[in-house]
Amino acid sequence: MKTIAALMLALSATLPAAAAEAVPNGARLAASCTGCHGTNGATQGNALPPLAGQPKDQLLAALRDFKSGKRPATIMTQLAKGYTDEQLEILAAYFAAQKK
């Protein structure tokens, strides 16, 4: 009985980690972008540029410019500052891979 209990405890401890890994890092990081840029970066309307399908280098350059303040913006400058450079690269790759 102790063996079964130990096995169940071990399995339950790995379930949250396994569930978290089911969501790619890019999608997890991009969740905060959906409010303005739409699901998967497929912006509706013309108010904001779509992120989906844009070249990775272009997206990364824009994100870095927002973070550094070179490209000032009301919201994006503040949001970009919250990401590491590695996370910005993951975001750029994620949105570049999405369909327009």
Helix or strand run (H / E) with residue 58? helix 56-68
Q: What one-letter code names the amino acid at 96? A: A
Domains of the chain: 24-97 (1.10.760.10)
Strands (E), the chain: none
Radius of gyration of the CA atoms of the chain, in A: 18
The residues of the chain scoring below 50 in pLDDT are 7-8
**pLDDT tens sequence across 23-39:** 889 999 999 999 999 98
pLDDT for the residue numbered 7 = 45
The CA-CA-CA angle for residues 5, 20, 81, to 5°, reads 140
Do 43 and 49 contact (CB within 8 A), yes or no? yes
